Structure 1
Amino acid sequence: MEKHDQLLMKRQNKNLVLDILKTKSPISRIDIAKMTGMSPTSITRIVNELQLQGYVRETEAVASGVGRKATLLEVCGDVLYTVGIEIDKSLLKVGIVNYVGEIVSLHKNKRNESESYMETLLKIKAIIRKIMDENDIAATKIIGLAVGLPGYIDYKNGIVKVSDQLKWKDASLAEDLKKLTSFNVIVDNELKMKIVAESFTGKAKDSQNSILIGIGSGLGSSIMLNGEIYRGETNNAGEIGHTVIDPTGNVCNCGKIGCLATYISEGAILADSRKVKDISSIEEVFQSYRDREPWALNIMDRASTYIALAISNLLCLYNPEVIILSGNTIEKLPEIKQAIEQKCQLYIWEPLKQAVRIVYSELSDYGVVLGAAIQAQHLMLELE
């Protein structure tokens, strides 16, 4: 037991030193010792191990100041890589991310809504191989890949239980993709992947408690509490799209009546728009809103009202430091931000207004890919 405890402490110390190097480099050995409280001898031993494993190298820079100059250390970004993947109804994104969280390469491909499950997986395999070849990355340096997609995901077993947008059900995605690529695979809801990216480098970077709301082809949220993703019992925490707001309202594709998504999602907005005008795309609705056509103003005014109500309800339930709005609707119709903020002033409970920041994601193109790759690194990297 004593030997086990010593090994555990050594591993924890090694991880601590590496975390400091990742966030503070270039940094000297003596500064690491001061930050950790460990002896300079222990730090030298740990750094030597990390150098032998390829995680750390000495830079040409030296620390300035009085006395002997200290050589600085930095993390080697190319020591390992993870692959992040986003699968959406009409778009497929695949990116390779290095050890320090930089996207080395990002490929975007159109996805036909009619293409089969296996066609999508084969396309992913081909894109990964192409990126590896283009960037001369050996398979031995990739420790795994992670997929973010919309739907109800059994993340422990890598199974897509239901994805209405992709029309997948009980798909063993992690197992099937591992068979095709030979890499270990994790699968999760795309908003849970994206909030990892927001916490790593985005709008929630300095927050322990945050909520990300995605508004687009669907509607959902992900919740970060005390620095960890809050999943609930079945990984469905944050599925606000299926909260019932009007029991006499619209029929949802989940079978219930009056779900929030039936008033905010792009499909719901399009369906209501087509009752008034021959509309072929959500972009036409947004343009009609900009042109101040009365029907479009009314539909989007109702949508902004329900978005503000969703924000208010989430604030009352979880009291986060920051709420991040993201998704296609926010990105393609930035004019709606002002309407949402005005409605938030009306509906948010006064004691909560001053404590929260309502902001907008700036990780539009790569948030899910980056978050997935970071999550893969967190879960798959084991330091000996």
Structure 2
Amino acid sequence: MKNAVQGKNQTLARKENQKLVFELFKKHDLSASEVSNILKLSQSGTKKIIDDLIAKNILTETTPIKHFTSGRMPMTLTLNQRYGIIACVDFFDKEIFISDLKNNILFSASIEINDKVSDADILRCAEILQSIIAKPRFSRFQLLAISIVVLGKFDTASSQPVFSYAFSDITINLKTYFSQIFTCPVTLKNDLHFAIIAEQEYGCLSHLGREINCCYLNIGEGITASYLINGKLYCGSHGLAGEIGFNITDFENPTSTLADHADRRSLLSFLHNSEEDIPLPDEFSLREVAELYKKDEPHVTRTVDKVATYIALAVKNICDILDCETFVLNGSLLVFGDKFIDKIIQALKNFPYVKTSIVKAKLGTNATKLGAIELARNLVFDNIINK
């Protein structure tokens, strides 16, 4: 956690300090004195910020801290769960859910949409969300922000799909449409963008500080990535950052890409087309392959280890450009276990100048949800600070 900002520009300093206070209350219930001590902010400065947030009904009192045994117990403050609600429309997991400012999911509902999303699907999702927030339990609360989870890549400026099979036929601008219908700020990202934010806040990256350079590498159906540069989500000028599966692996054959060598489908294809006598049925699953890998079946081991080597080369190439200190791995190929990850790490030792660590994602299927709530909450807090 950063210390409080000091400087001549009091307006800017106050906004930055408000952000730091929000960061604390997103994860902890605290007293004003604890906030002051953590941020090294004067008690008077802390009091001004907290009094303002109480007046705006964003912070509220909770149960006093019990570890004080004498004297007046300090007032403990928490984010007001009744301040408003956040919505997420998740086209990846085909779900709509509602949360409060404290990450509590209050309601969720599955949505029936086509794998190739149509304008009609989008309109129906908006209608479903309208019906949810009109329910008696939610109608008295303000809808503060919406996160939209998409598949593929969307332009960061226009919010239009630039590389997304699932959304290639739509004519509706998702972000603009939901913003106009629900009159609240909207953030639109793909599942990997939300996942890396969640790992930064609550998962395997949470102990590494706010200025981390990191790559979240999904190895499964294709091979894709998302990035944090100096602790900030990086999507590229047109939202295309992370499509490393299209990296060319052979200049003499430019149609040969990384995904052709290092994702689930290519691995199963290699084994299916192998002339070796592999103890697998005609139709087999990745899990069956993993069982043989764990038993050191030679042909399977050789094939899977080759995939690990290609992934290590991808890590090396990304490090050459972005110098990431950590790679977070997720995806179906992790079914091969620690032995597979160790092979990636071993292959990286061929490039001793590459200084990075390889870790497994911690949050699993919850990562997208937590990241969606996190970015929506940031929109809410930014809106409050900038008013």
TM normalised by structure 1 equals 0.80
Q: Displacement of 1:362 after TM fit? A: 2.4
The residue aligned with 2:118 is 117
- After superposition, residues 293-372 of structure 1 pair within 5 angstroms as 297=301, 299-330=303-334, 333=335, 335-349=336-350, 351=352, 356-372=356-372
The equivalent residue for 1:253 is: none
Task: Tell me the distance in 1 between the aligned counterparts of 2:223 and 2:110.
Answer: 22
Shift of 1:108: 4.8
Q: Which residue of 2 aligns with 1:378?
A: 378
Which letter does structure 1 place at the counterpart of 2:149?
Answer: G
Give the match for residue 260 of structure 1.
Answer: 258
Q: Structure 2, unaligned stretches of length 5 or more?
A: 1-7, 275-279
Q: How much has 1:201 moved relative to structure 2?
A: 0.6
Matched, 1:99 2:97: no
CA, structure 1 residues 185+33, in 2 after alignment: closer, same or farther (shift >3 Å)?
Answer: closer
* 1-structure distance, mates of 2:36, 2:289: 61
Q: Find out whether 1:194 has 2:192 as its counterpart.
A: no
Does the 8 Å CA contact 2:156/2:238 hold for their aligned counterparts? no
Distance apart, 1:296 and its partner CA: 5.3
- Are the structure 2 counterparts of residues 177 and 38 from structure 1 closer, same or farther at C-alpha, using a change threshold of 3 Å? closer
1:81-230 equivalences in 2 (<5 Å): 81-88=85-92, 91-108=93-110, 111-113=113-115, 115-125=116-126, 127-129=128-130, 132=133, 136-138=137-139, 140-164=141-165, 167-168=168-169, 172-178=173-179, 183-207=184-208, 208-230=212-234
Whether 1:54 and 2:57 are equivalent positions in the alignment is yes
Aligned equivalents of 1:298, 1:133: Cα separation in 2: 57
Residues 58-69 of structure 1: pairs in structure 2 closer than 5 A:
58-62=61-65, 64=68, 67-69=71-73
Distance 2:72 2:241 in 1: 54
Residues 40, 103 of structure 1: alpha-carbon distance in 2 compared, 3 angstrom cutoff: same
CA distance in structure 1 between the partners assigned to 2:345 and 2:119 by the alignment: 43
- 1:317-375, Cα deviation, whole Å (9 max, x unpaired): 33333211012332xx2x2441232232133356457x533111122222123212211
How far is 1:145 from its partner?
1.4
Q: Residue type matched to 2:362 in 1?
A: E
Closer/same/farther in 2, CA of residues 179 and 43 from structure 1, 3 Å limit: closer
The alpha-carbon deviation at position 273 of structure 1 amounts to: 5.2
Offset from partner CA, 1:40-96 (integer Å, 9 cap, x none): 3443343232122221122232461665432222222342332234333xx423333
Report the TM-score when normalising by structure 2. 0.79
Displacement of 1:135:
8.7
CA contact (8 A) 2:330 2:361 kept: yes
Q: How big is the shift at 1:214?
A: 1.0
Paired positions, count: 365
Give secondary structure in 2 for the equivalent of 1:365.
helix
Q: How does 1:70-85 map to 2 (within 5 A)?
A: 70-85=74-89
Matched letter for residue 156 of structure 2: Y
Which sections of structure 1, spanning at least 5 residues, go unmatched?
A: 250-255
Deviations 1:167-201 (A, max 9, x none): 55776221244456555432223212211111111
Q: Which amino acid in the other structure matches residue 258 of structure 2? A: L
**Kindly tell me: are residues 189 and 60 of structure 1, through their superposed partners in 2, closer, same or farther at Cα, counting changes over 3 Å?**
closer
Aligned residue identity for 2:103: G
In 1, are the aligned partners of 2:61 and 2:78 still within 8 Å (CA)? yes
Corresponding position: 1:22 with 2:23 = no
SS of residue in 2 equivalent to 1:232: coil
Alignment RMSD (CA, Å): 3.4
- Please identify, of 185-194 and 132-141, the stretch whose mean Cα deviation from structure 2 is larger: 132-141
CA distance, structure 2, for counterparts of residue 316 and residue 97 of structure 1: 40
